[in-house]
Amino acid sequence: MHLGTTSKIHTPTLGVGWMVAAPEVVTVILAYRDRTGSGPAPAGQLVATEFARNGDLRRHLRRLRRSWSTHLCAVGSRCSATRRARTSWSTLE
């Protein structure tokens, strides 16, 4: 099963996610959603569908990956430098 959501890649206010699962799992999940009334707003679904259909989602994810890659490298370098400065190594004899 694979679950995804727009909350981290776009905005949580859309309330839209997706699921790739075996048909019997999908049936059970959708039945639960119908019983609880916990489905996403139709407007959010339309926005997310159009965002994916016209390629905007792909471009957005590519931009996020580049941005976060640069950010994470900078954070990792800073953490490594700090750790080296504060760490002393000793060996057991």
Which parts of the chain register pLDDT below 50?
A: 93
Q: Dihedral of CA 26/1/19/11: which sign?
A: positive
Q: How far apart are CA 35 and CA 49, in angstroms?
A: 24
| Residue 54 identity (one-letter amino acid) | N
pLDDT of residue 12: 72
Provide the residue ranges of all domains of the chain, joining segments of one domain with +. Answer: 1-54, 55-87
Q: Write the pLDDT tens digit of every residue in 47-72.
A: 888 888 888 878 877 887 787 777 77
pLDDT of residue 81: 65
Q: Dihedral of CA 17/22/25/30: which sign?
A: positive
Q: How far apart are CA 18 and CA 60, in angstroms?
A: 17
Q: How far apart are CA 93 and CA 10, in angstroms?
A: 54
